[in-house]
């Protein structure tokens, strides 16, 4: 009974649910503001993503005649739910150490592609040609960036396993780093960290890897036919995903804590998420242009994957 209650709390309030939603939308607001400032514009208010959600939830929903209606409505809900569960697994070092004994790193590996799958469902259900192209691009992109992610997670698991075996529980990974120093400052883990940094813009679908949505050419691809509350659902999903990916990065590489109790550590966690987003999303998307699909695929196979394998080899050698 108590277990049930604590699980629902983690799913709905903290660290999943409400907390993750608010943090995700806030991070998105900062992302847009900083991007605008880097381009010497005034930029939108920080709370802009909240206004967008409020607006969208009051608009009319139009469903195309030719669309598969059930699937069209199901796709955003599916993606949103998947990310809610994923956000529940993210440990906030010093405040909450993650759901224990779940092998949650493997869970996350399966949960992280859910938004991409939701996009594919949405694109093919909406029966729009732009959605179809977006779907095929999303698929290519997913295969490309999942490889480095898998190898990075394997490397971290091996490293955190110590002298023997491997450790697939995020709580244990964080605990191991508290004892032996953060992986982000470890020379043999540096390539894996860079690989993870390359993985982030791909999975978040931002320039230069925003192939499925590519606004000027595909008119937002799978999202083209969505309007009103269903579109708001997709926005919430990507806000949650931002928190999940940043939280995962913090847990894997920089789970250090500061003295000062839970409140200080919560602020520290938010600050780390923000810095990670600044480096891997905001600056990257402001400074680059979009790559072609084949270039993206080659990029992911050539650099992040190789870097991740280098880390894996080093970890195995110096175990």
Partner 1 sequence: MSIIDAIKSKAVRSPWLYRINAGSCNGCDVELATTALIPRYDVERLGCKYCGSPKHADIVLITGPVTSMVKEKVLRVYEEIPDPKVTVAVGVCPISGGVFRGSYSVPIMLDDIIPVDVNVPGCPPRPQAILEGVAMALDIWKTRI
Residues 9-38 that bind partner 1 (CB under 8 A): 32, 36
Q: Does 113 bind partner 1 (CB under 8 A)?
A: no
Which one of residues 3, 4, 5, 40 is an interface residue with partner 1 (CB under 8 A)? 40
Q: Does 287 bind partner 1 (CB under 8 A)?
A: no
Q: Does 39 bind partner 1 (CB under 8 A)?
A: yes
Nearer to partner 1, 25 or 189 (CB): 25
**Contacts with 155 (C-beta within 8 Å, 6 or more apart), sequence order:** 189, 192, 308, 311, 312, 315
Q: Does 180 bind partner 1 (CB under 8 A)?
A: no
What does the alpha-carbon distance between residue 138 and residue 200 come to, in Å, rounded to a whole number? Answer: 15
Residues 159-178 that bind partner 1 (CB under 8 A): none
Which one of residues 7, 9, 18, 45 is an interface residue with partner 1 (CB under 8 A)? 45
CA atoms within 13 A on the CB side of 34: 18
- In 3-state terms the chain splits into helix, strand, coil percentages (rounded to 5) of 70, 0, 25
Q: Does 68 bind partner 1 (CB under 8 A)?
A: no
Supply φ then ψ for residue 195, to 5 degrees: -60, -40
**Interface stretch with partner 1, choices 51-59, 101-109, 174-182, 192-200 (CB under 8 A):** 51-59
Nearer to partner 1, 53 or 89 (CB): 53
Q: Does 132 bind partner 1 (CB under 8 A)?
A: no
Give which of 155, 236, 224, 161 is closest to 193, Cα–Cα. 155
Q: Does 103 bind partner 1 (CB under 8 A)?
A: no
Q: Does 52 bind partner 1 (CB under 8 A)?
A: yes
Q: Does 62 bind partner 1 (CB under 8 A)?
A: yes
Q: Does 43 bind partner 1 (CB under 8 A)?
A: yes
Least distance to partner 1, CB of residue 55, Å: 4
Q: Does 307 bind partner 1 (CB under 8 A)?
A: no
- DSSP code, position 63: -
What does the alpha-carbon distance between residue 88 and residue 12 come to, in Å, rounded to a whole number? Answer: 8
Give which of 28, 31, 72 is closest to 50, Cα–Cα. 28
Which one of residues 59, 69, 292, 298 is an interface residue with partner 1 (CB under 8 A)? 59
Q: What is the pattern of x (binds partner 1, CB under 8 A) and - over residues 197-236?
A: ------------------xx-xxx--xxxxxx--x-----
Q: Does 48 bind partner 1 (CB under 8 A)?
A: yes
Q: Which two tokens stand for residue 30?
A: 């900062």
Cα separations (Å) of 311 from 188, 189, 252, 306? 6, 6, 14, 9
Cβ neighbours, 10 Å, residue 216: 7
Which one of residues 7, 55, 69, 302 is an interface residue with partner 1 (CB under 8 A)? 55
Which one of residues 3, 60, 65, 294 is an interface residue with partner 1 (CB under 8 A)? 60
Cα separations (Å) of 220 from 24, 53, 132, 185, 213? 21, 17, 11, 38, 4
What does the alpha-carbon distance between residue 217 and residue 5 come to, in Å, rounded to a whole number? Answer: 47
Give which of 149, 194, 158, 195 is closest to 317, Cα–Cα. 158
Nearer to partner 1, 113 or 229 (CB): 229
Residues 236-275 that bind partner 1 (CB under 8 A): none
Q: Which two tokens stand for residue 304?
A: 């992040």
- Which stretches of the chain bind partner 1, using CB under 8 A? 32, 36, 39-45, 48, 50-52, 54-55, 58-62, 215-216, 218-220, 223-228, 231
């Amino acid at each position: 009974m108590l277990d049930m209650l604590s699980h629902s709390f983690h799913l709905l309030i903290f660290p999943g649910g409400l907390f993750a939603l608010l943090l995700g939308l806030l991070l998105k607001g900062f992302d847009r503001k900083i991007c605008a400032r880097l381009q010497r514009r005034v930029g939108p208010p920080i709370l802009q993503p909240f206004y967008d959600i409020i607006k969208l939830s009051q608009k009319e929903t139009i469903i195309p005649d030719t669309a598969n209606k059930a699937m069209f409505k199901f796709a955003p809900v599916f993606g949103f739910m998947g990310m809610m569960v994923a956000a529940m697994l993210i440990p906030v070092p010093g405040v909450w150490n993650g759901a224990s004994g779940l092998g949650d790193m493997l869970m996350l590996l399966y949960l992280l592609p859910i938004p991409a799958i939701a996009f594919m469902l949405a694109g093919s259900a909406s029966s729009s040609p732009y959605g179809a192209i977006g779907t095929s691009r999303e698929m290519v992109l997913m295969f490309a960036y999942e490889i480095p992610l898998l190898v990075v997670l394997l490397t971290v698991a091996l490293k955190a396993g110590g002298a023997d075996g491997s450790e697939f529980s995020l709580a244990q990974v964080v605990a191991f780093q508290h004892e032996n120093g953060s992986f982000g400052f470890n020379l043999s883990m540096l390539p894996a960290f860079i690989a993870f940094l390359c993985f982030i813009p791909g999975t978040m679908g931002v320039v230069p890897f925003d192939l499925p949505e590519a606004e000027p050419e595909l008119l937002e691809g799978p999202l083209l036919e969505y309007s009103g509350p269903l579109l708001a659902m997709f926005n919430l999903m990507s806000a949650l995903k931002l928190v999940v990916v940043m939280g995962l990065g913090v847990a894997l590489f920089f789970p250090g804590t500061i003295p000062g109790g839970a409140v200080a550590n919560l602020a520290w966690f938010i600050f780390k998420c923000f810095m990670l987003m600044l480096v891997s999303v905001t600056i990257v998307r402001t400074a680059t242009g979009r790559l072609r699909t084949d270039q993206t695929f080659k990029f992911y196979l050539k650099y992040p994957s190789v870097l991740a394998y280098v880390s894996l080899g080093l970890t195995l050698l110096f175990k």
